[in-house]
Structure 1
Amino acid sequence: MSSASSMVDWDLAGRTARRLVGPGPQTTREEAAAVVRELHEAAATAIAHVEGLTGLRPVPGGPVPEVAVVDRPGWVDANTAGMAALLDPLVDALAEKQGHRPGAIATAIGSRATGVQAGAVLSFLSSRVLGQYEVFGTGGRLLLVAPNIVDAERRLGVDPSDFRLWVCLHEVTHQLQFTGVPWLQGHLESLIAEFVEATDLDADVLRDRLRDVVRSLGDAVRGGEAVDDEPQGLMALVSDPAQRAVLDRVTAVMSLVEGHAEYVMDGVGPDVVPSVRTLRKRFAQRRKGRGPVDRVLRRLLGLEQKMKQYADGRFFVGGVVDLVGMEGFNRVWSGPEALPRIEELTDPARWVDRVIGRPAIPA
């Protein structure tokens, strides 16, 4: 998985994470098999509900996404592959742009140290993530992390069947975003390429800064607080205004897709998920807690305000649907120029005026 020039030894990261990962909640073999079966059924059921609410449909003739119910080590394996696919080409492009590569010894030592740190973070996150749609790496798979879903439903004290379908509604929305909007993945990849083009960091400097970021994440997992002179997450890698402009565009896209999924999982209503209001209330209380995951995300992004933009995505989707209906909102998928700008996330009417070109009126 790791190349000779990789800044992170992803093989070592994966081995470290699998060695550290917790076993998950206690279940019998029969209970575990029933959970896996119900999650597959819930994912299949969710498709019709998401299509009906959003109007999104997979592109005819496209690949049929795989649904994989995995344990924590399975999630680790998928994400080491995905992170390698995303980050290694970035470093290679920077090295090519700078016209030099670091020495083999320096690379080996640095990548192993960073690999151990990345593995510790992956191990921790593997016990928290409920599901995800893989965009990079193997791509095209919907992952549902069974032990984490069971653990969350027990801790929240909610109806298991409702919770499992509710989680699947969120992840299937992401699946339909990328299978129904074929240009979306390519657009994200082009933004990453644009970010590289705007980057003037030497690959060695980037490696050192990324190592600091990963160390900072490890401190966050253990409960440490940021200090004034500590590297501020991924924002520490971004100093050029052109880079920050690209980062804002990436943030706006990710806020849109996350906010859209949040809107859908609540929008199906109690006819589909009878306890949806209880689920949202208890899940919101869970998110309020400034626990380790919150610390990791705030540290990773460098600015706590960036976390707010995911809530802004939910506000944006709801605001646009209120103004012009779901059909009007779906103009957002018509092309990259229709994606919201970062300032429009908190001003849906501004997006309506720009993209639809008529006064915002109640749908």
Structure 2
Amino acid sequence: MTSSAITRPGERERLSSKLKQIDWTFTVLLCIIAALGTAMLYSVAPLAWHPWAAKHLMRFCLCLALMLALTLLNLRIWLTLAYPIYGAGFFLLLAVMAVGHTSLGAKRWLQFGPIQIQPSEIMKIGLVLALARFYHGVSAKDARWSWKLLFPAGMIALPMLLIAKQPDLGTALLIGFTGAAMMFLAGLDWRALAAGVVGVVVAVPVFVKFIMKGYQRDRVLTFLSPEDDPSGSGYHILQSKIALGSGGLLGKGYGLGTQSQLNFLPEKHTDFIFATFAEQFGFVGCTVLLLLYGAIIFMALRTAMRSHSHFGRLAAGGVTATFAFYILVNASMVMGMAPVVGVPMPLLSYGGTEVLTVMIGFALVQAVRVHRYAEVTSGKGMLV
């Protein structure tokens, strides 16, 4: 049998070739962080699989299988689905305003029987794909500065307004940060970026005074001085700082710690799980965790830079920016360096839609790696 006959394209050969191109080290790192999240959720139950740890592990395993399946999709399919996914996310955000499920004073979810989804998480992927597709067809000159940039600005601003109205200030900020990062990666002129920063600085006081809801304004003021109301609006930050400090260098040990085990720390399984982790494993444990996150960000950026297609570079870069902002905002919030805005620590915090969003995003990054040599057009075909 000749060499050409052996390597003739076929489903088995194509699938085997694609599986070899997947970054398995990257995948293992994701599994390690998810395993740490499961262990932390088990510890704060306390020491029980229910109600959080078992669900978190099951969701991650399902999302991992989905990630590996979506990785095999040609980038042309991601390109084709970009605007429909963005449109579906935007429609679901509108549906939340009309028939959304309210919990803890916020209307952020849609209820479908036993299933509850958060459309703002879907929009994070939809925005990255839509912006990558838009800039894929725009010249470098127009990407730097032109009237055409009104389109991506609108694509960013509209979902931000809908999400902020839910209200979900943290996710709205993440959407804005991701959009700004993608515009910068696409080649936005630095003067336009500087003008945008100045505009945001000028708008912040107006936003805080006239648009923010009362409790959101309290969070900002509390962030500046949490000691003024230690049993009220400053309680979250103060308890988080106590948990962080009590962990010391090596932590109090797995399953131990006063703040999380005695329920002093609120939202210990979601927004403040990083503080729980710090109390149990200390400074050294947090450093290791952040290094794991840093390795994932580095490998995803390397994948983005090696892509031969503009769409692939921007899509992988946008997903990486979203992931990095998740970590930055949550860690800053837990350490008292930013207001409490309800942003989870990816793969560590409990939450189904967030895990799904992160893993679909990394499916896109892996797809960019697998098809890094492909030139992406609007042509047909699902697999190369």
Q: TM-score w.r.t. structure 2 length?
A: 0.28
Bigger RCO (CA 8 Å, 6+ sep): 2
Structure with bigger gyration radius: 2
Normalized against structure 1, the TM-score is what? 0.29
